[in-house]
């Protein structure tokens, strides 16, 4: 099997690591040919907390994926999370070179580099420079300026940065597992690849990937990302509240949350009862299911308030036309859609990964949107040098892939 036709994704979250192997067809479709899932104890809130445990979990996941796919994994696209992620928008301006005054790929690359020249603290590094749109001699709304006659070219970009040490620790865990990194991709952008439609991006939409320890946010307007952030709250926080409120273990609290929990108290009847095992009491207790729902709703309402504040911080005071798309393992909880509509006052839908074929039964859950989105990111953002990240990992993540991405965007 040719290296060019196979992509690998490693999605290391707060509670699990998933390695997915996908084959890209000549038509650009992605089909899953293998995957491996392992519990992950070495990550906390999207960041490496224990290198040894994280390496062991990643290695286990890789081994399972190799066994199922029959493919020896050498490199992979890897997700990046954690509340150290920050973003800003920047504009680059250049004069169009050449006697013919036609915009070339080199002009676009120079404009991107000009936009990228923003002040980044010494302890942080750029992860993504995403082109939002181009302005040619004052005419905006241009998606592809190559070949246009012009004197002046401007590009509007979205720049995502992260803490250097957090990125290096993640890189170390993956490489110590025997795999090189094709590119590090922020989790929210990966999830967006697998869940959002072009129409939603054009109208204006928010994606909220509710994971175990964090919630990854991305705001899209005019077809491109305009704001990214990571909130330090996820499904684990809900489980902790349930464990404390019901005085039970974390494992049992998770089981109760998944089987009997809901974020919508209004749908629970007062007479509904549950038998719950208590710490130090083998006999357990009988509680109203409404009490469980009240605990879950309070924490999820707090999360939605944080999401609303993040949307306002991005410059959107009112609801976005296409609303909010919820994904991630936390989006599977009953009642999350109704509560989100109530708190955020905009259209809400829960989405699992789409656009990928193959072994999808196990992976069709919203919990794997980031995993499969990483494969789609690799397929949709082609580069001639997929080892560019490794060369740039000491400096700015993804610099080596920037030129390759531009070559893929404007072939010829």
Looking at the fold, whether 368 and 404 belong to one and the same domain comes out as: yes
Q: Are residues 239 and 335 in the same domain?
A: no
In angstroms, rounded to a whole number, what is the distance separating the alpha carbons of residues 335 and 70?
A: 40
Check which CATH number belongs to the domain holding 137 and give it. Answer: 3.30.1490.110
Strand-strand pairing, 86-95 and 348-350: unpaired
Count of domains for the chain: 4
Q: Are residues 132 and 269 in the same domain?
A: no
Same domain for 229 and 241, yes or no, is no
Q: What is the CA radius of gyration of the chain?
A: 22
In a shared domain, residues 47 and 123:
no
pLDDT at residue 383, as a whole number: 55
Residues 394, 257 within the same domain:
no
The answer to whether residues 20 and 137 belong to one domain is no
Tokens 């992509």 sit at which residue?
Answer: 7
Say whether both 23 and 127 belong to one domain: no
Find, among 54, 63, 53, the residue nearest to 21 by Cα: 63
Report the alpha-carbon distance of residue 264 to residue 393 in Å, rounded: 45
Q: Smallest Cα–Cα separation from 163: which of 184, 193, 189? A: 184
Together in a domain, 104 and 149: yes
What CATH number does the domain containing 63 carry? 3.30.420.40
Looking at 326, 350, 374, the residue that finishes a domain is 350
Reduced to 3 states (helix: H, G, I; strand: E, B; else coil), residue 246 is helix
User: Running DSSP on this structure, what letter comes out for residue 124?
Assistant: E
CB 337 within 8 A of CB 326: yes
Residues 249 and 364 in one domain: no
Name the DSSP class of 97.
Answer: P
> Where does a domain end: 259, 280, 296?
296
Q: Look at residue 283 in the predicted model and tell me its pLDDT.
A: 63
The boundaries of the domain holding residue 73 are 3-83+164-193+354-409
pLDDT score for 160: 96
Give residue 1's pLDDT: 41
Token representation of residue 72: 């020896």
Q: What angle do CA 237, 239, 241 make, to 5 degrees?
A: 70
Q: Across the strands, what pairs with 32?
A: 22, 358
CA distance 116 to 398: 12
Query: Helices 105-116 and 399-409, interaxial angle, to 10°?
Result: 140
Residue 207 sits in the same domain as residue 186? no
What local confidence, expressed as pLDDT, does residue 388 receive? Answer: 30
Q: What pLDDT is recorded for position 240?
A: 96
Residue found under tokens 């199922």: 68
Q: Clarify whether residues 79 and 101 are in a common domain.
A: no
Q: Tokens in use for 148?
A: 């246009």
Per-residue pLDDT of the chain (412 residues; tens, 9 = 90+): 444 589 999 999 988 999 999 999 888 889 999 999 999 988 988 899 999 999 999 999 999 999 999 999 999 999 999 999 999 999 999 999 877 889 999 999 999 999 998 888 889 999 999 999 999 999 998 999 999 999 999 999 999 999 999 999 999 999 999 999 999 999 999 999 999 999 999 999 999 999 999 999 999 999 999 999 999 999 999 999 999 999 898 999 999 999 999 999 999 998 888 888 776 566 678 889 999 999 999 999 999 999 999 999 999 878 899 999 999 999 999 999 999 999 999 999 999 999 898 866 789 999 999 999 999 999 988 653 333 333 233 333 343 344 333 333 443 3
Structure pTM? 0.88
């Amino acid at each position: 099997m040719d290296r060019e036709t196979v992509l690998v994704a490693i999605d290391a979250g707060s509670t699990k690591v998933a390695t997915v192997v996908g084959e890209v067809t000549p038509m650009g479709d992605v089909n899953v040919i293998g995957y491996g899932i392992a519990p992950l104890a070495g990550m906390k809130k999207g960041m490496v907390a224990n290198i040894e445990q994280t390496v062991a979990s990643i290695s286990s996941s890789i081994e399972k994926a190799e066994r199922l796919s029959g493919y020896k994994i050498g490199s992979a696209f890897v997700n990046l999370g954690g509340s150290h992620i920050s973003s800003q928008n920047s504009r680059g301006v250049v004069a169009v070179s050449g006697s013919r005054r036609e915009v070339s790929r080199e002009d676009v690359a120079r404009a991107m580099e000009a936009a990228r020249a923003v002040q980044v603290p010494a302890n942080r590094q750029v992860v993504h420079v995403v082109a939002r749109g181009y302005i040619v001699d004052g005419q905006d709304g241009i998606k592809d300026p190559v070949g246009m006659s012009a004197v002046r070219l401007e590009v509007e970009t979205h720049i995502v940065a992260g803490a250097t040490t957090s990125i290096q620790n993640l890189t170390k865990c993956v490489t110590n597992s025997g795999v090189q990194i094709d590119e590090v991709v922020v989790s929210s952008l990966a999830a967006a690849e697998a869940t959002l439609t072009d129409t939603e991006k054009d109208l204006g939409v928010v994606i909220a990937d509710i994971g175990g320890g964090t919630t990854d946010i991305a705001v899209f307007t005019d077809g491109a990302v305009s704001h990214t952030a990571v909130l330090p709250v996820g499904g684990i926080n809900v489980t902790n509240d349930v464990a404390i409120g019901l005085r039970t273990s974390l494992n049992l609290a998770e089981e109760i949350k998944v089987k009997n929990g809901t974020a919508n108290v209004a749908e629970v009847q007062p007479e509904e009862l549950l038998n719950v095992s208590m710490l130090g009491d083998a006999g357990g207790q009988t509680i109203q299911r409404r009490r469980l729902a009240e605990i879950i709703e309070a924490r999820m309402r707090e999360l939605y308030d944080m999401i609303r504040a993040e949307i306002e911080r991005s410059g959107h005071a009112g609801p976005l036309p296409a609303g909010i798309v919820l994904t991630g393992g936390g989006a599977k909880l009953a009642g999350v859609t109704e509560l989100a509509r109530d708190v955020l006052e905009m259209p809400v839908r829960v989405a699992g990964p789409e656009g990928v074929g193959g072994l999808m039964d196990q992976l069709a859950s919203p919990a794997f949107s980031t995993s499969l989105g990483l494969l789609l990111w690799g397929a949709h953002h082609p580069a001639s040098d997929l080892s560019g990240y490794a060369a740039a990992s000491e400096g700015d993540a993804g610099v080596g892939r920037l030129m390759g991405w531009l070559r893929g965007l404007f072939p010829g």
